[in-house]
Amino acid sequence: MSGLMQKLRPKAAAAAKTVVLPEGNDPRVMQAAKIVADNHLAKVKILATPAEAAEAAKGICFCGQDVEIIDWTNSPLFDDLANTLYERRKAKGLELAAARDMTKNRLYFGNLMVNRGLADGLVAGSIASTPDMLRSAFHCIGTAKGIATASSCFLMDLKTPSPAGDETLIFADCGVNPNPTAENLVDIAIATIKTHQALIGTQAKLSFLCYSTKGSAKGELVDKMASAAAMTKARIAELGIDALVDGELQADAALVPSVAAAKAPDSPLKGQANILIFPDLNCGNICYKITQRLAGAEAYGPILQGVAKPVNDLSRGCTAEDIAGVVAITICQALVK
């Protein structure tokens, strides 16, 4: 178990929260539910028909554990959840019949359970695509107050601490927004700070990364990152958030105190950034995979951000242990209002 999970699992276990796992037709999800139940990480609700449960949970016994398998195709919750979706979306032209059809989808059913407080968070994506995950979360739950742009991040549990001594860094956005504007980046930054507060708990120190440090180069991308940094500083001051923000900075000036002293001596980060905001999805996705594959970091994510309640995606190549880890993350997110 990684160092990050050693910290998050006890926190999740103490919370006594409930998670819904919609993809009960996946044996990995059933195995993950067993891990979650055995370690008392959360109460678990799994969406599966009797036939799916019999097939996916072969050899697994949930006897005496806080695990409930819900046949969402024949549930007394259906009418209430479908009506909830209709009320949320009718102003956008959704008709009741269409809302009922959408609620027959297991992702929509699960997200509506979170909307109605029947679960504190949702974890899926071992089968479903990220676009399907995002669509169902936005339709059923919506974005968090003050956030117009949903995003994602990866928690990078480092094999070797950073030069500033951090064992975990957060990279964003690595999975949702292909080419964010400066305004989009502000939303991504604020959401990532909140993720850091929920999961890491130390002071957030956020850097907007670029090929330039404090005007050492010129260009449209430099202007975008510097503008995003300035707007984020104003936003955190307005919201009273305890965080340090700077940019634009090159990665070494953000992460290495000795380099920061030479390149950006006036930066409040002092080369101690623990959150890295990338200019676009291309950079973010490449960097998290390089850090994972070449530096041996454990990568947890994509963690969805900016959704009003915790909903998290999975890699379709995930293991049961990976799913259980994301459940622990989701429960910890649910602890922060």
pLDDT tens by residue, 1-40: 567 888 899 999 898 899 999 999 999 999 999 999 999 9
Which CATH number is associated with domain 151-298? 3.40.50.10750
Q: Residues 6 or more apart from 305 whose CB is under 8 A from it?
A: 150, 151, 152, 153, 172, 188, 191, 192, 194, 195
> What integer pLDDT is reported at residue 308 of this predicted model?
92
In the chain, residues under CATH classification 3.40.50.10950 are 3-142+308-334
Q: What is the pLDDT of residues 240-267, one digit of tens each?
A: 999 999 999 999 999 999 999 999 999 9
Q: Average of pLDDT values for 273-290?
A: 96
Give the whole-number percent of the chain exceeding pLDDT 90.
81
pLDDT at res. 336: 74
| pLDDT tier for residue 232 given thresholds of 50, 70 and 90 | very high
Confidence of residue 337 (pLDDT cuts 50, 70, 90): low
pTM exceeds 0.85, yes or no: yes
Confidence at residue 1, expressed as pLDDT on a 0 to 100 scale: 58
Distance CA(111)–CA(124), nearest Å, equals: 10
143 is written with which tokens?
Answer: 């974005």
Count CA atoms within 13 Å of residue 109 on its CB side.
Answer: 25
Q: Mean pLDDT over all residues of the chain?
A: 93
What pLDDT score does 175 carry?
A: 86
Q: What is the pLDDT of residue 6?
A: 86
CATH 3.40.50.10750 in the chain, residue ranges:
151-298
Asked if the bond preceding 302 is cis, omega within 30° of 0, the reply is yes
Report whether CATH 3.40.50.10950 matches the domain 3-142+308-334: yes
Place of tokens 């339709």: 139
Q: Long-range pairs for 232-236 at CB < 8 Å and ≥24 separation? A: 232/185, 232/186, 232/189, 232/190, 232/206, 232/208, 235/186, 235/190, 236/190, 236/193
Confidence of residue 269 (pLDDT cuts 50, 70, 90): very high
pLDDT in tens, 168-188: 999 999 988 999 999 999 999
